[in-house]
Structure 1
Amino acid sequence: MSKQYLTTHTIDHAHPTDIFSLGTTPTQILSASGSSSIRIHSTNNPDFPLSQTLEKVHKLGCHHLTTSRNGQVAASVGFGGEVKIWGVQDAQWSESRKIVDGSKAGEIWAIALSEDGQYLAATSFDGRINVWDYLADGAKIREFETKGSFGMSIDLSADGRFTASGHENGGIYIFNNDTGRLFQSLPSLVKPVRAVAFSPGGKLLAAAGDSKVIALYDVSSGEQVANLTGHGAWIFSLDWSNSGEYLLSGAFDGKAKVWSIEQRTCVATHTETEKTLWSVKWLPKTGRNEGFATAGANRSISFYREATGG
């Protein structure tokens, strides 16, 4: 069974350079790029108006941005190595903390927040995985070691108990933040893993990258339970729908795909641009309609809504 999504709006030239990362909250979408500013648009209005610009946040540009699922905390990391934590009040964002350790240029790469925003996890160029506790004055509470391969992607389970990372050498690891130990070393994808994402309930982990395949793993057993095939280019971004029924992916060739987890198949493919999609995100659900946003090398943000439902 296929699903149909319609392009509802596009913010052209949302940034002057490639948009590398998107983050969503119940009412806003945040975007970060190779330029120094972070921009925030409202999702309560069908025109997605610009509601705030955080100026000169990262001097050399921002390569990763993430938001907590509860929408109260955001984090960003720049090419200069600086990591900043953001809080929101009355729909306005302001800097609340910096992560000062491990902040050399290029040292910290991918970042992720737990559902409540308490924990921040990050990968490093030399394979280390660090976890900080936002409520403990930003103290580093865990430092995990892998085989030294560049950590290209990371995610935290909703409850903050587990950290998953994907690496340049194809390695995929799940760490237990409570015990400080490796929980699962998953079957390698052989090629670089550019995206990992826990399902909302934490039962499954999706991983993808240069293999052009999305692998699904059972977190508790470490077993690979499915391969989702259909992309013809490197996959850069993954995002689960709030219910966990669907998985969204974005690739190097500009294609965004929606996958049914129950059917283990692609149910929708959209191409707004032939340029790279660096980031794809589901939007807050309105009524029965689902929607998502895409952004990348065309410097625009495109919004889609399901064609049926009310």
Structure 2
Amino acid sequence: MALAAPTMRMASSASLHPRLVNPFSTSRIQFRMQNVALPLFPSLTLAVPVGLQLGLPPLGSILEDIWESVLKAVPKKKTSHMKKRHRQMAGKALKDVTSLCKCPACGEIKRMHYLCPNCAATHPAEIFSLAPTPTAVLSASGSSSLVVHDTTQATFPLQQTIPNAHKLGCHHICTARGGLGNIAASVGFGGEIKVWSIPKSEDGGSSNKEWSLQWELAPTKTGGGDVWAVALSADEGYLACTTSDGRIHVWDIQAQEKIQTYETGARGSGSFAMAVDLSRDGRLTASGHESGGVYVFNNDAGRMVYSLSGLSKPVRTVAFSPGCKRLAAAGNAGVIAVYDMEHGEHVGNLTAPSSRPAWITSLDWNDTGEYLLTASLDGKVKVWDAGRSVCVATHSETDTALWSARWLPKTERALGPGMGKSELFCAAGASRSITFYREATGS
């Protein structure tokens, strides 16, 4: 039994498209129809078309060529030169990095105001907090280690790394503003508080010896919320910490015992206390809360003296001025509220004109109380003139979030050529690097 061969009506080669005929007419061997016997059924033969006399390629080859041409015709997602130029003229293009210099230590090219990556070890995670001392700056990040950089040298070299300080990372670290720089406190994501100390030198200041753990306060399992923010008194004798249930605890560091607890609502039901600060004279404690509330407590009387208004969004940072006459508070509202501590009055706001102000994550007064330093989530560091209530400098070298900005104490000698005996400040955040600036001039 034989199957009839299929009949095909073919057009002449002249009527076919040249791309479909010419490339294959000379390169393919022409075959005729022939009968092929099936091995399993000898009595059956099958007429199989294995070639074409006119030189027409197989249907699969034709479809393959058509599909290839279709793919080539599909437009690719490429940005045209005109569109790139339009974005550049609109100020949206990537800007060239021109603020480069040579590292004075190793000679490698690095970005200005940044630690040299070849000389200083950087954090492997975001830096959440900075704590300055007269001779160094401590930094804490999402990694388990604390890092100490020497601020008495122009290159800010790495002085010490404290490994395994907090197993789950550290979100807050503090030192005493105006203190000797011998005590530091840090809080880990596990809820533990650790107090670090450095041996005192003969003149009462900090020596060049390394930081070591003095005592640890384990996380509270029952009867209290998780610890969040911490602050030290200027004499380095007392530690204040906030909790997630709105309470503020004050500890005696030498006695290692709790001496005071402040409530901001019904017992255990207060709003999340996100920030805390102690006045330099040790008389007042201030706290900022998720509800937008700002509370001030008198440590001598052991009670609340002011419940301050002015902010309706979460408060992430509070800071007393050096003379304890002003309190600044800021947070998600993007506004810096300033309060008078003599009468508990809201005396003004510091704000830059913007349709959507960024969250302010850090506040710090300089040693004279003239300038206020802020860091925000839009990657900008701003210096404010407290007397005129205006921003006098803005630095935006990064587009990533900044979590902390701190003034460094004035040095007794120039750190390097052109640096002078002036105040410095530093900032850090999601870029995992520490940036140093000089004065409020932006250099």
TM over 0.5: yes
The separation in 1 between residues aligned to 2:261 and 2:220, in whole angstroms, is: 11
Aligned residue in 2 for 1:9: 114
SS of 2:369's equivalent? coil
Deviations 1:121-142 (A, max 9, x none): 011000011000112x211011
Deviations 1:149-176 (A, max 9, x none): 0001010001222110000000000011
Counterpart of 1:99, as a letter, is L
Query: Mapping of 1:139-288 within 5 angstroms?
Result: 139-147=257-265, 148-230=270-352, 232-286=357-411, 288=421
Q: 1:129 aligns with which of 236, 248, 261?
A: 248
Higher helix share: 2
- Tell me the SS of whatever aligns to 1:247: strand
Structure 1 residue 59 corresponds to structure 2 residue 178: no
* Letter matched to residue 127 of structure 1: G
Query: How far is the alpha carbon of 1:207 from its aligned partner?
Result: 0.1
CA drift of 1:26 comes to 0.5
Cα distance in 2 between the residues matched to 1:190 and 1:307: 30
Q: Is 1:98 paired with 2:220?
A: no
Q: Secondary structure at the match of 2:368?
A: coil
CA contact (8 A) 1:191 1:211 kept: yes
Aligned to 2:138: 30
With 162-171 and 93-102 compared, the bigger mean Cα shift is at 93-102
CA contact (8 A) 1:11 1:300 kept: no
The CA deviation at 1:80 is: 0.5
What is the deviation of 1:11? 5.0
**Larger RCO (CA under 8 A, 6+ residues apart):** 1
Q: What residue number does 1:81 align with?
A: 191
CA RMSD in angstroms, aligned pairs only: 1.8
Indicate conservation of the 8 Å contact 2:190/2:219, yes or no. no
Distance 2:225 2:147 in 1: 23
Separation in 2 of the partners of 1:307 and 1:191?
29
Structure-1 separation of matches of 2:230 and 2:390: 28
Cα distance, 1:187 vs structure 2: 0.9
**Aligned residue number for residue 228 of structure 2:** 109
Match of 1:44 in 2: 152
Asked if structure 1 preserves the Cα contact closer than 8 Å seen for 2:138 and 2:149, the reply is yes
Distance 1:201 1:14 in 2: 35
Residue of structure 1 equivalent to 2:429: 296
Q: In 2, distance between residues paired with 1:270 and 1:260?
A: 15
Q: Which residue of 2 aligns with 1:3?
A: none
CA contact (8 A) 2:246 2:263 kept: yes
Instruction: Report the equivalent of 2:182.
Output: 72
Cα distance in 2, alignment partners of residues 7 and 117 from structure 1: 34
Which structure dedicates a bigger proportion of its chain to strand? 1
Give the number of the structure whose alpha-carbon radius of gyration is greater. 2
CA contact (8 A) 2:227 2:243 kept: yes
Contact 2:219 2:227 (C-alpha < 8 Å) held by counterparts: no
Q: Which residue of 1 aligns with 2:66?
A: none
How many aligned residue pairs are there? 302
Q: Given that residues 310 and 346 in structure 2 are in contact (C-alpha distance below 8 angstroms), is that contact kept between their aligned partners in structure 1?
A: no
Shift of 1:277: 0.6
Amino acid in the other structure paired with 1:261: A
Unaligned runs of 5+ residues in structure 2 are 1-110, 200-206, 412-419
Q: By how many angstroms is 1:301 displaced?
A: 0.3
Cα distance change of structure 1 residues 100 and 159 upon mapping to structure 2, 3 Å threshold: farther
Q: In the TM superposition, what is the alpha-carbon distance from 1:88 to its structure 2 partner?
A: 1.0
CA distance in 2, matches of 1:306, 1:195: 22
Select which of 113, 122, 128 maps to 1:20: 128
Instruction: State the distance in 2 between where 1:33 and 1:138 align.
Output: 26
> For structure 1, which runs of at least 5 residues remain unmatched after alignment?
1-5
SS of equivalent residue, structure 1 residue 9: coil
Q: CA deviation at 1:307?
A: 7.7
Q: Normalising by structure 1, what TM-score? A: 0.93
CA distance in 1: counterparts of 2:116 and 2:143, whole angstroms: 17
Give secondary structure in 2 for the equivalent of 1:102.
Answer: coil
Say whether the 8 Å CA contact 1:191–1:209 is kept in structure 2.
yes
Question: For 1:11 and 1:77, how far apart are their aligned partners in 2?
Answer: 28
Aligned mates of 1:157, 1:39 — CA distance in 2: 26
